[in-house]
């Protein structure tokens, strides 16, 4: 049934979107956790610069971001040249490039919930842990992370959903190559371009329902996590 | 055994300059007004604050000097914060075990069950912090600190944010702590009644400077210090329950200077108690009063006579059985009785409060 319901391009696009969203969300959580921790804890004046840079992808049109990434990663950009010299495959027009672009584009959606969750944990809970013999890394994993779990959940969901819906960056950077960089959102765009509204409808509805169900599960799960002060 | 501090820390909004040595046994109350630097001092001891050029030594171990700074998690101390500080993501048991698990088994001197029983937490273990009352949370916090088997316990106004009922619920536990565990305690407070009840020593701090540090009975009655001039000024005496008189509903407490009658208590004979005598409840007589309604009369010798805040009043410090008793009487009475230092007289004590 699926063979007639979805075209091969549809399925490939869905799979690429799913893969991209998962990899982006996981990579962003790993990358943003230390960054958000630093932003939440530092008293350095560099913080405002960090915050502004972390929020930049929120206001930039995705095409601008994709365009600069393309220049940077392309064969004449110094990122692309560096990778060539290191003997690596160029990132432009590749899945790796999509991951990089999506990460940059969705970064604020992970950093900001994490940063405010860490700020909510506050210094007191960590001081308490210190007087209970917990070393800094121990305090981070046994106090800060569990108390900030709402931030992690929110960040992961937003990164996933935002990447799933991403269009501009992946089009600029990925180049619309079926089976490699053509995500579901681009496939939908192609269907509409070809006036195949029925196909666009099927894929759009699939994404709509999948995203809604995902958010529903997460918010229902999150509801059980009491939003309490870090120490009470 | 001692805690030695040398801190000289100036910041635009505040200053802390102390050079002192805390006795490393019993409860030392760090007493002073809000903003006098009590909490900052305690945080320096705990390693939560890194005062520049400070020196902190405990029992010969250097915790801080110019060469080194031992971080808080490596100092063998327990800390109880002023406000509730239980981890919200753990239940009471999880909170208690958090510190316990991080102390090597060989260094544990207080067991889980012992601490639970000590602070009366048996029925609370499965509760989360937000299901506990303020007093219960502080009891868990104290037990949690105890479970790290600390060599020094720092309590930062643990009762300040609690209502009277919760305070009354915790104080007996603190007294047991004092009587049954030989952990030195530094107890920050700005409540003189708390200090009079549990402290052995007092460190008076004012505007970031240490005014005096010494045994509580001495500091409470020293006329050069503000404690003796408080409205609630008084003296405290350690004694033992000596005898009960069921007929008149009295219990007798033996102190060095004699015997004091208090209202009948359900306390065993021989039990150690602390009594408090307010300065305003003491009157003085030159002869042993014959026909007086006052039961408690202690013979003594005048140490000194000092002006009080109220120009009509004088503070008379009397040596009774080697301990100081403070009397607040009028200047007129001082003149009429011609009270001078060295003079023998009789202190009539109108009211004695058992501190429990």
Interchain CB distance below 8 Å, B87 and A231: yes
**Biggest distance spanned by C-alpha atoms of chain B:** 69
Closest CA to A21 of A165, A185, A153: A165
Please indicate, yes or no, if residue B252 is contained in any of the structural domains. Answer: no
Closest CA to A129 of B131, B227, B88: B88
Looking at domain A2-223, its CATH superfamily turns out to be: MetI-like (1.10.3720.10)
Contacts of A201 (CB under 8 A, 6+ apart): none
Please indicate, yes or no, if residue B255 is contained in any of the structural domains. Answer: no
B184 and B116 in a common domain: yes
Structural domain ending residue among the three candidates B221, B252, B285: B221
For B99, the closest chain A residue by CA position comes to A132
Residue B285: give its domain's CATH number. 2.40.50.100
Q: Give the domain range for residue B313.
A: 234-238+272-354
**Biggest distance spanned by C-alpha atoms of chain A:** 67
Q: List B353's β-bridge partners, or say none.
A: B276
Please indicate, yes or no, if residue B257 is contained in any of the structural domains. Answer: no
Residue-range domain boundaries for chain A? 2-223
pTM metric for this prediction = 0.85
C-alpha distances in Å from residue B167, one per residue of B128, B175, B312: 21, 12, 36
Please give the structure tokens belonging to residue A156: 């992961």
B94 and B18 in a common domain: yes
Q: What is the ipTM of this complex?
A: 0.86
Interchain CB distance below 8 Å, A132 and B102: yes
CB contacts, 8 Å: A133 with chain B: 73-74, 99, 102-103, 148
- Our count of domains for chain B comes to 2
For residue A146, the SS3 value is: helix
Is B255 within 8 Å of chain A by CB?
A: no
Is B78 within 8 Å of chain A by CB?
A: yes
B296 and B211 in a common domain: no
B179 and B109 in a common domain: yes
Residue B45: give its domain's CATH number. 3.40.50.300
For B100, the closest chain A residue by CA position comes to A132
Q: What is the pLDDT along chain A (232 residues), one digit of tens a residue?
A: 444 688 888 899 999 999 999 999 999 999 999 999 999 998 888 889 988 988 888 888 888 888 888 888 888 888 888 888 888 877 778 888 889 989 998 999 999 999 999 999 988 999 999 999 999 999 999 999 999 988 998 899 889 988 988 888 888 888 888 888 889 999 999 999 999 999 999 999 998 998 888 888 878 877 765 555 666 6
Please indicate, yes or no, if residue B137 is contained in any of the structural domains. Answer: yes
* A139 to chain B, closest Cα gap in Å: 10
Interchain CB distance below 8 Å, A228 and B130: yes
Please indicate, yes or no, if residue B226 is contained in any of the structural domains. Answer: no
Please indicate, yes or no, if residue B251 is contained in any of the structural domains. Answer: no
> What secondary structure does DSSP assign to B76-143, as a single string?
-EEEE-SS---BTTSBHHHHHHHHHHTS-GGG--S-HHHHHHHTT-GGGTT-BGGGS-HHHHHHHHHH
d(CA A134, CA A142): 9
Please indicate, yes or no, if residue B345 is contained in any of the structural domains. Answer: yes
B308 and B159 in a common domain: no
B168 and B45 in a common domain: yes
Picking from B74, B85, B103, the nearest residue to A124 by CB comes out as: B85
Pairing assessment for the beta strands B55-58 and B61-64 based on DSSP bridges: antiparallel
B182 and B294 in a common domain: no
CB contacts, 8 Å: B131 with chain A: none
**pLDDT given for residue B25 in this prediction:** 86
For B81, the closest chain A residue by CA position comes to A128
B45 and B176 in a common domain: yes
Please indicate, yes or no, if residue B281 is contained in any of the structural domains. Answer: yes
Cβ neighbours, 10 Å, residue B170: 20
State which residues of chain B have pLDDT below 70: 1, 356
Interchain CB distance below 8 Å, A231 and B88: yes
């Amino acid at each position: 049934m699926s063979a007639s319901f979805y075209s091969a391009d549809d399925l490939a696009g869905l799979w690429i979107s799913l893969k991209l969203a998962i990899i982006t969300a996981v990579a962003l959580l790993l990358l943003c956790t230390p960054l958000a921790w630093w932003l939440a804890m530092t008293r350095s004046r560099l913080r405002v610069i960090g915050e502004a840079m972390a929020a930049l992808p929120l206001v930039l049109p995705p095409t601008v971001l994709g365009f600069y990434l393309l220049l940077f990663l392309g064969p004449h950009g110094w990122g692309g040249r560096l990778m060539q010299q290191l003997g690596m495959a160029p990132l432009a027009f590749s899945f790796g490039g999509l991951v990089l672009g999506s990460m940059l584009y969705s970064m604020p959606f992970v950093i900001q919930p994490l940063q405010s969750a860490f700020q909510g944990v506050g210094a007191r809970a960590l001081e308490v842990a210190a007087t209970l013999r917990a070393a800094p890394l121990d305090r981070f994993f046994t106090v800060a992370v569990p108390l900030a779990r709402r931030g992690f959940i929110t960040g992961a969901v937003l990164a996933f959903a935002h990447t799933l819906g991403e269009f501009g960056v992946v089009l600029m950077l990925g180049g619309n190559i079926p089976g490699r960089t053509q995500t579901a959102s681009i496939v939908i765009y192609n269907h509409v371009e070809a006036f195949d509204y029925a196909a666009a409808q099927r894929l759009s509805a699939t994404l709509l329902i999948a995203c809604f169900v995902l958010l529903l599960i997460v918010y229902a799960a999150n509801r059980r996590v009491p939003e309490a002060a870090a120490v009470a | 055994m001692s805690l030695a501090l040398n801190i000289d820390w100036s910041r635009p909004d505040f200053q802390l300059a102390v050079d002192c040595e805390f006795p490393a046994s019993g409860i030392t109350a760090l007493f002073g007004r809000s903003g006098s630097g009590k909490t900052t001092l305690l945080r320096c001891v705990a390693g939560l604050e890194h005062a520049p050029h400070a020196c902190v030594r405990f029992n010969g171990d250097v915790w801080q000097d110019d060469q080194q700074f031992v971080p808080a998690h490596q100092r063998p101390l327990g800390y109880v914060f002023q406000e509730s500080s239980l981890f919200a993501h753990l239940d009471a048991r999880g909170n208690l075990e958090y510190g316990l698990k991080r102390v090597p088994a060989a260094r544990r001197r207080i067991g889980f069950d012992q601490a639970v029983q000590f602070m009366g937490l048996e029925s609370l273990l499965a509760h989360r912090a937000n299901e506990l009352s303020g007093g219960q949370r502080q009891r868990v916090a104290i037990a949690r600190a105890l479970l790290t088997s600390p060599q020094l316990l720092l309590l930062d106004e643990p009762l300040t944010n609690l209502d009277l009922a919760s305070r009354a619920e915790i104080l007996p536990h603190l007294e047991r702590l004092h009587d049954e565990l030989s952990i030195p305690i530094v107890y920050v407070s700005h409540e003189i009644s708390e200090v009079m009840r549990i402290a052995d020593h007092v460190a008076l701090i004012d505007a970031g400077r240490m005014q005096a540090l010494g045994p509580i009975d001495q500091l409470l009655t020293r006329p050069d210090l503000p404690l003796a001039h408080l409205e609630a000024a008084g003296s405290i005496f350690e004694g033992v329950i000596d005898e009960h008189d069921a007929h008149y509903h009295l219990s007798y407490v033996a102190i060095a200077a004699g015997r004091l009658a208090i209202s009948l208590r359900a306390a065993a004979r021989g039990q150690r108690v602390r009594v408090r005598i307010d300065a305003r409840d003491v009157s003085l007589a030159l002869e042993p009063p014959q026909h007086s309604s006052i039961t408690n009369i202690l013979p003594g010798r005048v140490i000194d006579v000092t002006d009080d805040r109220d120009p009509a009043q004088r503070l008379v410090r009397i040596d009774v059985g080697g301990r100081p008793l403070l009397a607040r009487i009028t200047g007129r009475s001082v003149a009429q009785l011609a009270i001078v230092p060295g003079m023998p007289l009789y202190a009539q004590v109108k009211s004695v409060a058992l501190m429990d």
